[in-house]
């Protein structure tokens, strides 16, 4: 099932376009990475919040769908703690805090290679009855 899940997750064209790579995942967990490119910078010369949010969102999506059951995001709150810089390698780790039949709550941390917290997010998904992989 793990190989089928990985193949499914790697179909994310937006994540590919951003250069996001999947480092690791398991049930209720995901770790993804991205390098901040010049085209991801805002007018202050730091990483655009949307790029950082997208990295966290991919980790969130993989962690919440890691059971093969369709899970769709219903809320996500992001707290930006430090600016990201061009060339910086960011890693987002999503961990499941709570899961039931209908909902799942996740905490997502985005850090740079030095381990400094760039952003912290919390997301909730709604779990549909259908499975895309069993």
Task: List the domain boundaries for the chain.
Answer: 2-131
Instruction: Report the CATH superfamily, name and number, of domain 2-131.
Output: Hotdog Thioesterase (3.10.129.10)
Kindly report the backbone phi and psi dihedral angles of residue 122, in degrees, each rounded to the nearest multiple of 5, phi listed first.
Answer: -135, 130
**CA-CA distance, 12 to 14, in Å (whole number)?**
6
Mean pLDDT of 97-120: 97
Q: How does residue 133 score in pLDDT terms, banded at 50, 70 and 90?
A: confident
Q: How far apart are CA 96 and CA 60, in angstroms?
A: 9
Residue 134, pLDDT score:
77
CA distance 10 to 87: 23
What totals of helices (H) and strands (E) does the chain contain, helices first?
A: 3, 6
Q: Residue 19: what are its φ and ψ, rounded to 5°?
A: 80, 25
pTM recorded for the entire structure: 0.96
**pLDDT tens for each residue of 5-59:** 999 999 999 999 999 999 999 999 999 999 999 999 999 999 999 999 999 999 9
């Amino acid at each position: 099932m793990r190989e089928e899940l990985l193949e499914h997750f790697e179909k994310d064209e937006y994540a590919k376009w951003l250069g996001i790579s999947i480092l690791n995942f398991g049930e209720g967990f995901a770790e993804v990475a991205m390098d901040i490119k010049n085209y991801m910078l805002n007018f202050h010369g730091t990483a655009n919040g949307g790029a950082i949010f997208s990295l966290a969102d991919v980790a969130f999506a993989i962690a919440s769908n890691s059971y093969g059951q369709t899970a769709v995001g219903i809320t996500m709150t992001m707290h930006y703690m430090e600016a990201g810089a061009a060339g910086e390698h960011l890693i987002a780790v999503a961990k499941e805090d709570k899961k039931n039949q209908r909902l799942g709550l996740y905490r997502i941390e985005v850090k740079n290679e030095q381990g400094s917290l760039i952003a912290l997010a919390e997301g909730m998904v709604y779990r549909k009855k259908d499975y895309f992989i069993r």
